[in-house]
Amino acid sequence: MLSRDSVLERVTGCFAGFFGTWLMNAGRRGRLFETLRDRGPLAADELATALGYEHRYVETWCRGAYAFELLDERDGRFRLAEGVAEILLDPSDPSFMGGRAEFFPLLTPDFEMYADRMADGGLYPFSDRPPSVVQTMQAAVRADAPNAIANVLPQEPGLVERLRAGGSVLDAGCGAGYGLAAFAEAFPQAELVGIEIDEVSLEQARAHLGSRATVERLHVTEAPWAGRFDLVYANISLSHTWGSGPEVFAALLRLLRPGGAVLCSDVPYPASLADLRSPAGRLFTGVTAYVSLLGFTLLTPEALVARLQAAGFDEPRIAEQPARTRMMALARRPLDAR
């Protein structure tokens, strides 16, 4: 049994995490991290002068970021701690988490209404939220497609070669088009198609991609292209857009040509209660709260593999890749599928 002091320490740590999120938010939005990366080490007054900010506020921020071990200090000058530049500033890095510093504070209304929704069973769908919530979420996960392309697709025999030779990709839940843009860069000859149901995201994807990709307003279960694609890519759309019912997995299978691959990338919810008692488990528990208000749930890795298996996919498995906040499942439509 935990002592009273131990419980108090844990509760204090929860409150501290709230402030740490906002320090990262201010540091990214105010370009403090970026300036220290490019020009550091700097004293707080030098950082304030470089950005034209009030010294008192910058000094307060530097001390806070130091407290959370995001900055190191020597002789009164601050620099980014090791790994911070990649994790908070580089969206091409598989471990990029910086976009979540903008996204998570936008979830405040979710937690404000959670007690009321528990009582009435209502939802808070994306259609009721400010467009900035969806846009910021999509920007936060823009490292996922480059990671999948570099580290996961090569694990499916022959897939990369087919895409390079002009194969076809469906981004099932393409958002603002960041994933399609990554596929366009990696596979210049490939045919690219995206589907999405959020109208603002559709407009952004079309503006972003121009004629390079076809982007349609369709639910995945309504997509008409049976047997067309070499790859169907679904990034967080099982937990945020389509849900994870059997009809969704049946649609993913139907859209692939025989031998084509599906890549489902989502939040890796722990399978056991014990696994929730970890930094990642606590983070994913927070994600489950706002996902539940969308009307969906997170799948465990085991459940995702099982649902792919039940839908008729061959060799469903969780792929090895470096992003700890993602599980990426690969599977294949059987060659003899009709």
Exposed, middle or buried: residue 41 (CB in 10 Å: 0-12, 13-18, 19+)?
middle
Backbone angles phi, psi at 12, to 5 degrees: -60, -40
**137: three-class secondary structure by DSSP:** helix
Q: Check which CATH number belongs to the domain holding 150 and give it.
A: 3.40.50.150
Residue 96: inside a domain, yes or no?
A: no
d(C-alpha 288, C-alpha 298), whole Å: 6
Q: What is the pLDDT confidence band of residue 337, given thresholds at 50, 70 and 90?
A: low
Of 58, 89, 120, which marks where a domain is finished? 89
Residue 45 has pLDDT above 90, yes or no: yes
The answer on 294 and 165 residing in a single domain is yes
Mean pLDDT of the chain: 95
Residue 102: inside a domain, yes or no?
A: no
Residue 97: inside a domain, yes or no?
A: no
The answer on 293 and 257 residing in a single domain is yes
Predicted confidence at residue 338, as pLDDT, reads 60
Query: Taking the model in full, what pTM does it have?
Result: 0.92
d(C-alpha 25, C-alpha 33), whole Å: 10
The pLDDT tens digits of the residues spanning 231-255 come to 999 999 999 999 999 999 999 999 9
Exposed, middle or buried: residue 203 (CB in 10 Å: 0-12, 13-18, 19+)?
middle
The answer on 224 and 300 residing in a single domain is yes
**316: three-class secondary structure by DSSP:** strand
The residue type of 225 is W
The pLDDT tens digits of the residues spanning 149-201 come to 999 999 999 999 999 999 999 999 999 999 999 999 999 999 999 999 998 89
Of 89, 118, 138, which marks where a domain is finished? 89
State what percent of residues in the chain have pLDDT above 90: 93
The answer on 64 and 167 residing in a single domain is no
Count the Cβ atoms, other than its own, within 10 Å of residue 68.
15
Predicted confidence at residue 127, as pLDDT, reads 86
Q: In what order do the strands lie in the sheet with 314-318?
A: 214-217, 191-196, 168-172, 229-235, 256-266, 327-332, 314-318
The answer on 313 and 283 residing in a single domain is yes
The pLDDT tens digits of the residues spanning 194-226 come to 999 998 899 999 998 999 999 999 999 999 999
Q: Could you give the number of structural domains in the chain?
A: 2
The pLDDT tens digits of the residues spanning 285-324 come to 999 999 999 999 999 999 999 999 999 999 999 999 999 9
